[in-house]
Structure 1
Amino acid sequence: MKRWTHPQDFIALIVGVYALLSPLWTTTTSKATTTMVVLGALTAVLSVIELVRPDTLSIEGLTALMGVLFFISPWVMGFSDMRAMSWTAWAAGVITFVIGAADLRVTRSHRGTVATTL
């Protein structure tokens, strides 16, 4: 697979950076800020790794996992009463999970095709 050719990884990068920066314009607490910055940074780093090294093992699965962590974070970290930050986490979670799951499916089917043709 060629580097820098996965549009879904660019979307995950944008979502990660958006989540990372969202405390700048969203009413927040220190716990919510820390959560969004950490999850956003990890998502952005994972997507850059996948863009640079598309053959890296199971990064797509980690991207989908980041989506789940984003989605549950308002309840787990106790900021579900903060509407704007909660909706940011939920939207980032759904988008990241869908992107990660779709990328996992494409990558696995591509690897399966390569393996059967060799």
Structure 2
Amino acid sequence: MKKWTRWEDWVAVAAGAAAMLSTLFVPPMGASLALMLALGGLLVISGLVNLAAPGLVAMESVQAALGLLLFVSPWIGGYVDTASGAAWMSWICGAVALVVAVLAIRPSMQAHQDAIPH
């Protein structure tokens, strides 16, 4: 598996960046600003690490966990108001990151196994 070519990781980077950038446009509620910036930034970092080293299975799990945390952050951070743009952005970006991380786990496991000499 080549570095910097996995679409799943590019989508995770974009989801994290979208969560971070949306804080400029949606009114903050509760802890939305801090949670969206932190989790979005961590998603970008984990996506870049996965792009640079595509055989790290543990990083795919970290990325899935970050996506899940971003998805549940409206309930944790107290900005679950259904009319809130921050909540919708967290749900959408978190779900996208979680789905692409789950899709990337199997290819990452295969790349890891291929890298080990038998």
Identity level (%): 28
SS of residue matched to 1:99:
helix
CA shift in 2, pair 1:107/1:15, >3 Å = same
Deviation at 1:93, TM superposition (A): 1.2
Listed as ranges, the gaps of 5+ residues in structure 1 are: none
Residues 16-50 of structure 1, C-alpha deviation per residue, up to 9 Å, x if partnerless? 11101111011113611010000000000000111
Distance 1:100 1:57 in 2: 10
Partner of 1:3: 3
The one-letter amino acid paired with 1:72 is V
Q: Which runs of 5+ in 2 are unaligned?
A: none
Which residue number in structure 2 is paired with residue 111 of structure 1?
112
Query: What is the CA deviation profile of residues 31-81 of structure 1, one whole-angstrom value per residue up to 9, with x for unaligned ones?
Result: 110100000000000001111122334110111101110111000111101
Pair 1:46-2:46 in alignment: yes
Flag the 1:115–1:6 CA change in 2: closer, same or farther, 3 A: closer
Closer, same or farther in 2 for the Cα pair 1:43/1:116, shift >3 Å?
Answer: closer
Give the root-mean-square deviation of aligned CA atoms: 1.9
Instruction: Kindly indicate which of the two structures has a greater share of residues assigned to helix.
Output: 1
* Paired residues, number: 117
The answer to whether the 8 A contact 2:28-2:86 is kept is yes
Q: Which amino acid aligns with 2:28?
A: T
Q: Return the TM-score normalized by structure 2.
A: 0.89
TM-score of the superposed pair, with normalisation by structure 1? 0.89
Distance 2:51 2:111 in 1: 16
